[in-house]
Amino acid sequence: MSLLPKRLLDAACIKFGTFTLKSGLISPIYVDLRLLVSEPALLRDVARAMAEVASGLAFDRIAAIPYAGLPIGVAIALEMDRPLIYPRGEVKAHGTRKAIEGVYQEGEVALVVDDVITRGGSKLETIARLEAAGLEVRDVLVLVDREQGGLDDLASRGYRLHALFRLAEMVETLHFAGHITGTRHAEVMHYLRPDA
């Protein structure tokens, strides 16, 4: 697992510069895990590491959030031999008009899986759709917690966040191993902890 940050950097899944996040925040670092679909060996190893975390949780189905979370969720489902569902971003006006794709039963527990969490908004929207369909959600599993309020947003609503990496931990690992400069390291750490 400790090699994953360097492999994510090499695959351009971690980028440095100036980026506007979905939350509206401006960030000196961007984690683009949509690129994992082009790196099958890395995606497999990410899924294995996340499956280790998931193996300690009680759930009936994996509920992956499209788009970036869906290939990760599929890879975890294959690794664990567990069923997967996913909520649609929009319900189509044709076909089955299902809000959630896949097979599930009311009362089952869904483990929500996504790539990254910044704040909890998109995760809470997904949880609301799953719960409206009669599913129960206790836990959310992501590869990276950007440490910008997501943990607290979920906890305030009674959900537990599990992250393979915290963003500061990844940046520390990359800096300590000499993969990023001290300037990059300091910039990101000041961004994450401006009062430190």
Contacts of 191 (CB under 8 A, 6+ apart): 27, 28, 29
CATH of domain 4-192: 3.40.50.2020
For residue 143, how many other CB atoms are within 10 A of its CB? 27
10-54 pLDDT, tens per residue?
A: 999 999 999 998 778 899 999 999 999 999 999 999 999 999 999
Question: pLDDT of 85-114, one tens digit each?
Answer: 999 766 555 555 678 999 999 999 999 999
The arithmetic mean of pLDDT across residues 147-152, rounded, is 95
Residue 196 has pLDDT above 60, yes or no: yes
Selecting among 6, 15, 22, 94, the annotated active-site residue is: 94
Confidence of residue 2 (pLDDT cuts 50, 70, 90): confident
| 172 has pLDDT over 90 | yes
Compute the half-sphere exposure of residue 183: CA atoms within 13 Å on the CB side of its CA: 2
Is 92 labeled as catalytic in the residue annotation?
Answer: yes
Spot the catalytic one: 22, 92, 98, 190. Answer: 92
Pairing mode, strands 160-166 and 61-64: unpaired
What pLDDT is attached to residue 194? 84
* Residue 24: predicted pLDDT: 82
Q: Quote the pLDDT of residue 156.
A: 97
